[in-house]
Chain A
Amino acid sequence: MDKINSIKMERVSFKSGGEDILKNINVEFEAGYIHTLIGPSGAGKSTLIKLINRLIDPTEGRVLINGIDINNFDVINLRRKIGMVFQQAHLFDGTVSDNIKYGPLLMGEKNIDVKYYLNIVGLEESFQNKNVSNLSGGEQQRISIARTLANRPEVILLDEPTSALDPTSTQLIEELILQLKNKLNLTFIWITHNMEQAKRVGDFTYLVVGGELVDCGRTGELFENPRKEITRLFIDGKLTGGKSK
């Protein structure tokens, strides 16, 4: 698999149990940026990003990487190149080090510099031997990011990574992601419920409502100067009934 330059969705729909969860999504995410996804609860944001690492497949349409249908890539390989961090960090039983080694060990890589990854996410080296059951929420989330980084991905999908965290931990994670983008030239597709966060971190922002991509643009423009009524309503917190009909 070549270096990822773009991730594109073409007329993507996702149905489940007779319900349209995503409808005719056309979008392109360019590499090297932070793309923030916003929208009401139940709009289909999580569903949309799961299509990118093939945790699910679309019922219609295609997802393309550098113009190639992602079904052409080996799914395991794809998921290593496109990592994912969930809202609720799930750490596997064992030590911090066991967790960071998890992905590489699956591929038989044994020499993993755990300290390096701890360092990237701003945790002391002494963490490596700690048991995961004694960690704060913020620490757990940083370790789950370190664990994803250990697979050396090019793109990371973030599903509300800070919404379960306090403001200090949230700020730490935001700074961390911005650093990763700049230093490692990673691409992020980041779901957030926090408008201020989207403004702070996003290069581009996408608004999903009722399973449809209703607006997108440069983050500054979208927030300061929304062209669409629905976007203005959502930003002002006046949009109701976001769930797909």
Chain B
Amino acid sequence: MNAISLTLASSLVLISIFISYYQNLSIEREIVVGTIRAVIQLTIVGYILHYIFAANNFFFTLTMVTVMIIVAGNNAAKRGRGIPGVFYYITVSIAVGTAITLAILILFGTVHFRPQEVIPVAGMIIGNSMISSGLTVSRLKDEMKNRTLEIQTALALGASARQAVQKILKISLKTGMMPTIDGMKTLGIVQLPGMMTGLILGGVDPINAVKYQIMVTFMLASTVAISCFCVTFLTYKEFFTPYHQLKAGVK
């Protein structure tokens, strides 16, 4: 892809600006800002990755992955606004899910600890983890609010906080995991996932690309399960006092 074709492709953005203007959506400004941000971010990341790949340094790679996790945690935490410590809990959950999955992949030799492999794989893992743990806390928050009577009833019957929210934890966990599971069902038919597309564009035989994709799918399922599990069990405690009382303040 040369510079001219890239510039021409950019004119596609003009179409969305035109539609926004024509339909009075008044999001032209946001489209422009979004576009500029995307270009700047991608360019900077491109240069950083270029440097990290060239340096092939354990510490740099790890730092990059850590930064990705923190940014993802910060973003997902917005879904659980109002819950004390939610950023911390989500970030830890994403980190745990990512660490376990990456460790298994590296241990089994499926992925080598080279920045070229670790960073893109970690990116996929963290991205999915971010979305699913965000969904999980947001559902948890809603259910806690809507089911106050149910929780109080259970507590009044001698249930511990954990027992009183058993069902809510299940629902939240399921909500976070469902998109990944649904994605597995239509994988390759409705969407050709990024990694597979990339490999095919890069000239890899589709059969080989599929092998990679199968690995990625399994690993995403595991990561999402771990992250969602961690985030529900870490976060629900914030809604209770140590004496199995609902805190009034958490909304």
Contacts and interface: CB of A to CB of B under 8 A. Distances in A.
Contacts of A151: 157-158
Interface in A85-111: 86, 88, 90, 92-93, 102-103, 106-107
B245 A57 contact: yes
Given A90-B149, A90-B150, A55 B245 contact: yes
B163 A55 contact: no
B248 A16 contact: yes
B156 A92 contact: no
Contacts of B158: 76-77, 79-80, 103, 106-107, 151
B59 interface: no
A54 B160 CA distance: 13
Contacts of B153: 86, 90, 92, 144
A92 B149 CA distance: 11
B157 A147 contact: yes
Contacts of B160: 76, 106
Nearest to B242: A75
B152 interface: yes
**Best-buried of A76, A77, A148 by chain B (most CB within 10 Å):** A76
Contact of B150 (A57, A79, A92, A106): A92
Contacts of A88: 149
A244 B158 CA distance: 31
A186 interface: no
Interface string B132-173: 000000000000000001101111111110010001000000
Nearest to B160: A76
A84 interface: yes
B244 interface: yes
A68 interface: no
A188 to B, nearest CB: 15
A205 interface: no
Contacts of B244: 75-76
B108 interface: no
Contacts of B246: 55
B243 interface: yes
A83 to B, nearest CB: 7
B250 to A, nearest CB: 13
Given A88-B149, A90-B149, A92-B150, A83 B156 contact: yes
A89 to B, nearest CB: 8
B249 to A, nearest CB: 8
Contacts of B152: 55, 86
Contacts of A93: 167
Nearest to B164: A106
Contacts of A17: 248
A83 B244 CA distance: 15
A56 interface: yes
A17 B163 CA distance: 28
A151 B241 CA distance: 23
A75 B243 contact: yes
Nearest 6 pairs between A and B by C-beta?
A84-B156, A80-B158, A103-B157, A90-B153, A75-B243, A79-B158
11 contacts: A16-B248, A56-B248, A77-B158, A79-B155, A79-B158, A90-B149, A102-B154, A106-B160, A107-B158, A148-B156, A151-B158
